Structures are given as structure tokens and as C-alpha cells.
Amino acid sequence: MTSARAIRTVHTVAALRDQVRQWRAAGERVALVPTMGALHAGHVALMDAGRALAQRVIVSIFVNPTQFAPTEDLSRYPRTLEADLATADAAGVDLAFVPDAGQMYPEGFATTIALTGPALGLESDFRPTHFAGVATVVAKLLIQSQPDVALFGEKDYQQLQVVSRLVRDLDLPVDIVGVPTVREADGLALSSRNVFLRPEERAAAPALHRALRAAAAAIAEGGDITTAVDEARACVATAGFQLDYLDARHAMTLARVTSHTDGPIRLLVAARIGATRLIDNLAVPN
């Protein structure tokens, strides 16, 4: 006989807030892991980090339509709710918040968040509406659940910096914690979109991480940043990718860097292979 699922699932903001209110009354800390579902080991790492920092963990599962442009893959995004709930339950999550679009964006919804700072460039050059959608839904989730801490993966590094800036600028009382990227044995960053890779594309995909590693090592050893980045771009193209960007940026502000003295450096890449767009990033050792 299988045991009953321990995780509780709620679909409304009112039910979410009621549960959080009870935990607060008991003096318990609350962690939030925002997701769009299709959960994998990278998400489980976020849940594990949440459990280490709080007595209670919430996972939100919501495929946010406002962060997809009309030409992007909203309809193709994998939706695996039952498997997601089982994964969250096995990871010790206490509550799954699974709203529908009407709950998050009720009729007449007319508010978005305007961004500059780390939201400018890189992803926004290719997905100009993306971070406004991300920032708006993340702000709503943080206000709705009022967690002590929220966990975000470093794989979406620019998103992590945008959310961190959002929380600082709006004085939201939550700690944003980045969790290191979880990778396959060959270095490919785990992503819900990896399921779309054809076998030959999957075989080529680790070239992204290899290119970043080589560039990071060259820069750390004192090599010219422009040369290292150009060589990495060439490696990615040779592997069969269509490159959107591969660049070296300041790790906190995401401003362009030209010298080791410009501050901590992060390499970021986005590229397409076949019909799938992959992103990755890597810190340059100090």
C-alpha cells in the first residue's frame, strides 16, 4: 500500500496565506521555491536549500504566460503536475501553491514592473518583455506567500540578479538565496527544456559548459578577456549552436567588463541548437 501524500496543495492566494499565517503563529520560518513545474534535480536542490534554512517550504508551480513572447514556447513548455507534486513531496516540501492564470492575473489586471540595471542587455536583447513578466510574477509570489527566504537557481543567473535587485529596491522583507547550478555528468546544466533535445543535439550540448570553462580558466590565468570570449564563441558555433550571446560581465551588476580589475566576473551564454534554446553561466575564479 502506498502512503498518502504529505504535501498539501492549494490553488488560491487566500488558502496560501491562511497556511502561512498558521506557520507564523507557531514561530516557524518559511522558504519559497518559485518554479514553472517540470521539476528536476536542480529544483530539488532548491528545495533542499530551503529545508536547510526554514522549517516550512513552499513550492509554487505556475507556467507564467507574461514572461513568454508571442513567438516563444509557452504551449510547448512541459506540464507534469502529478509528477511535480510527487517530486516535491519526496523532497519534504510542505505546501504546493498551484494557481491558474486567473488567480495570478484576474480580469482587469493592469500592473507590471519596469526594470533597468541588471535587466538590461543579454536576455533582454533577445527577449525584451521577459524580465518584466518575471519580475511581476516573482513580486506577486513574494507578496502572496511572505517567505523569510526565497531560493533561485544560479543557472538563470541574470534572473537571480534581477530578482535580488527587485527585492532590494522595493524593500521586500525576504532574503534571496542563489543555489549553484546542478549539472549532468558531462557538464550540461539541468533544464526543463533539455527534454526537447534530439540525441545528436544532446551530444553536442555540453560544448556550452566546456567553452565557458576554457574561457574562465584563460581569464583567471591573466589572459585577455576579449580573446578568451571570442575563442569561446567560436567553440560554441563549431559545436553547431546559433549563438545569441556569450559575454563577460560584472558578477553583481552585469555591466560589461574589460579588465580583471573591473570586479568579480561572470561568463554568460545563450544559444540555440535545433529548436531548443539553452543558457548557462560560470564564475571566473578570482
- 154 marked among binding-site residues: yes
Query: 22 exposed, middle or buried (CB, 10 Å; 0-12, 13-18, 19+)?
Result: exposed
The Cα 61–Cα 82 span in angstroms is: 11
The CA angle 85-86-87, to the nearest 5 degrees, is: 90
Of the candidates 32, 27, 92, 42, the residue with the CA atom closest to the CA atom of residue 62 = 32
Give the C-alpha separation, 163 to 75, whole Å: 25
> Which domains, ranges and CATH numbers included, belong to the chain?
8-179 (3.40.50.620), 192-283 (3.30.1300.10)
pLDDT per position as a tens digit, 27-78: 999 999 999 999 999 999 999 999 999 999 999 999 999 999 877 778 888 8
Residue 190 is assigned to a ligand binding site: yes
How far apart are alpha carbons 201 and 275 in whole angstroms?
A: 10
How is the chain split among helix, strand and coil, in percent rounded to 5? 40, 20, 40
To the question of whether residue 11 is assigned a binding role by annotation, the answer is no
Considering the candidates 43, 209, 250, 260, report the single residue annotated as catalytic.
43
Residue 141: which residues within 8 A CB-CB, separation 6 or more? 32, 34, 60, 97, 150
Q: What are the backbone angles phi and psi of residue 228, rounded to the nearest 5°?
A: -60, -40
Least Cα distance to 147 among 112, 182, 172 occurs for 172
260 assigned ligand-binding residue:
no
Q: What would the pLDDT profile of 130-168 be if each residue is shown by its tens digit?
A: 999 999 999 999 999 999 999 999 999 999 999 999 999
- Hey, what's the cell of 34? 518559485
Residue 156 annotated as lining a ligand binding site: yes
**Total-model pTM:** 0.95
Render pLDDT for 250-280 as a digit per residue (tens, 0 to 9): 999 999 998 988 989 999 999 999 999 999 9
| Whether residue 11 lies in the annotated active site | no
